Amino acid sequence: MTASAASISGGADHGARHVAIIMDGNGRWAKGRHLPRAVGHQRGVEAVRVLARAARSMGLEALTLYAFSSENWRRPADEISDLMGLLKRFIRSDIEEFVANGVRLKIIGDYRALSADIVALLDDALARTAGNRGTTLVIALNYGSQAEIARAAAAAAAKGPITPETIEAELDTADLPPLDLLIRTSGEVRLSNFLLWQAAYAEMVFTDVLWPDFTPAHLEEALAAFARRDRRYGGR
Ligand code: IPE
Ligand code: IPE
Ligand code: MG
């Protein structure tokens, strides 16, 4: 959609409804400052908090954040435990604000495989924000796109013919707007098993900014770049 078409239809000027971010570079941020990796992850959570607030004012319907991949279990146990601790604290401290501000929380990925206390916290947060109609904050937890597609294909097959449409209807993201823009921080140019299906026609922005340094101004910059793109979907 062009910027002008977006304003006519009442959406935000940039025209993006759904943005996803691969939040990468916490470790390198900490290393560059001779700090423990855990501090990088803490600062990463701060960046999430600030950005989640800003997403509403930028007119986004959905903001999807890659927080923990199904491959991140390969990391040392103490780092995984730091990340899970941060997740717990984030949900506990921010849930009231989500409830008050109309943010709907959604989780994609196999979050039920996380520890029982985290699953309980997440289920409570999901239930309490389910009726909200503001921005949907989607957190990808224990998420892997290939497993998601395999699960969706199996679910589609159990119901009838397998087509792109029937698979798509079974993806974790089925109730979200199509993915418009995918951002990755930290200079890596790969998808790392994130939203492979959904990214078929997403625009991509790769930035060298490390995740803890990523601000709403960086998101606005990416949205401005998105608004200048010519999305053709194979046509001309
Ligand atoms: C992103 O930062 C956070 C997670 C993957 C959980 P990293 O921890 O991957 O940071 P780098 O890539 O080592 O700098
Ligand atoms: C991708 O980052 C996963 C998240 C941001 C949660 P990684 O740091 O795990 O990706 P690779 O290992 O560099 O591909
Ligand atoms: Mg990384």
Would you state the pLDDT for residue 56? Answer: 85
State what percent of residues in the chain have pLDDT above 70. Answer: 95
Burial 14-47 (b: 16+ CB within 10 A, else e): bbbbbbbbbbbbbbbbbeeeeeebbebbbbbbeb
pLDDT at 8 over 60: no
Minimum-distance ligand to the CA of 22? 2
Q: Is the pLDDT of residue 2 over 50?
A: no
- Residue 61's contacts (CB-CB under 8 Å, 6 or more residues apart) are 17, 18, 135, 136, 176, 177
What's the CA gap between 125 and 64, in Å, rounded?
A: 16
Q: Would you call 193 a catalytic residue per the annotation?
A: no
pLDDT above 60 (res 52): yes
Rounded distance between C-alpha atoms, residue 107 and residue 173, angstroms: 9
pTM value is 0.95
Give the chain's mean pLDDT: 94
Which residue CA neighbors atom 11 of ligand 2 most closely? 192
Active site annotation includes 117: no
Average pLDDT over residues 20-42: 98
Q: Is the confidence at residue 1, as pLDDT, over 80?
A: no
Q: Comparing 4-18, 37-51, 128-142, 206-220, which segment has the lowest mean pLDDT?
A: 4-18
149-169 per-position pLDDT tens digit: 999 999 999 999 999 999 999
194-206 mean pLDDT: 98
| Span 188-193, average pLDDT | 98
163 CA from centroid of ligand 1 (Å):
35
Taking residues 5-10, what's their average pLDDT?
40
> Is the predicted pLDDT of residue 34 greater than 50, yes or no?
yes
- Read off the pLDDT of residues 70-99 as tens digits, 9 standing for 90 and up: 999 999 999 999 999 999 999 999 999 999
- Nearest-angstrom CA–CA distance, 21 and 58: 15
Q: At residue 11, does pLDDT exceed 80?
A: no
Residue 5 has which token pair? 């078409």
The secondary element (H helix, E strand) that includes residue 228 is helix 216-228
Q: Give the count of beta carbons closer than 10 Å to the beta carbon of residue 56.
A: 15
Contact by Cβ (8 Å): 211, 41: no
Centroid of ligand 1 to alpha carbon of 181 (angstroms): 21
| pLDDT at position 12 | 80
* Cα distance between residue 179 and residue 198, in whole Å: 6
Tell me the two tokens of residue 45: 């959570």
The arithmetic mean of pLDDT across residues 38-49, rounded, is 98
From the list 13, 72, 193, 213, the catalytic residue is 72
Model confidence at 3, pLDDT cuts 50, 70, 90, reads very low
